[in-house]
Amino acid sequence: MRDLNPLFERIRLRYQKNYFDTIAGNFSREYNLTSTQEYNLQRYLERKTQQNAAKYGQVLTSDQATFEDLIRASRNFERDDGIDEFMENTLQGEARERFKTDRLAKKNRARPGRSLSQDRRASINSSTSTKTKRIRSSLSWHEAPGTTIP
């Protein structure tokens, strides 16, 4: 696995940079960050990148590391550990309250034991059921006496 370390590290760095750039761009737009706040957010995300690289490097250079450990370590950097506290300290007033509300809603959506796809499926099934009921009720005046719409 050590021989593949440079390759895996480049892949991880590229993916992580894109991920953190997306976070920074979304936060900048959603909460109208000033140039100083954007700069501080970028520095924070760069520090996170370095911390994650150190953790990832430990897994890659370990003699006992398995491929499963490598995959697990490569996914761990996507966690937003610490970003909530950083943004709460950075934002002020209404933007801070909106951020807290948005993050709380995001955490509530990602319930333990359920994947996002399960939540989406449940949402689609619920809305489909509601739409079906509306359609049936609107068509009910077209029914002939003694018949029902399946």
Statement: the pTM of the whole predicted model exceeds 0.75: no
Residue 115, pLDDT > 60, answer no
Q: How far apart are the C-alpha atoms of 24 and 42, rounded to whole Å?
A: 7
What angle do helix axes 93-109 and 5-31 make, rounded to 10 degrees?
130
Q: Count the Cβ atoms, other than its own, within 10 Å of residue 48.
A: 20
At 55-67, the pLDDT tens digits run 777 877 787 878 7
Residue 135, pLDDT > 60, answer yes
- pLDDT band at 44; cut points 50, 70, 90: very high
Q: How far apart are the C-alpha atoms of 95 and 92, rounded to whole Å?
A: 6
Q: What is the largest CA-CA distance in the chain?
A: 78
Residue pair 98/46 in contact (Cβ under 8 Å)? The answer is no
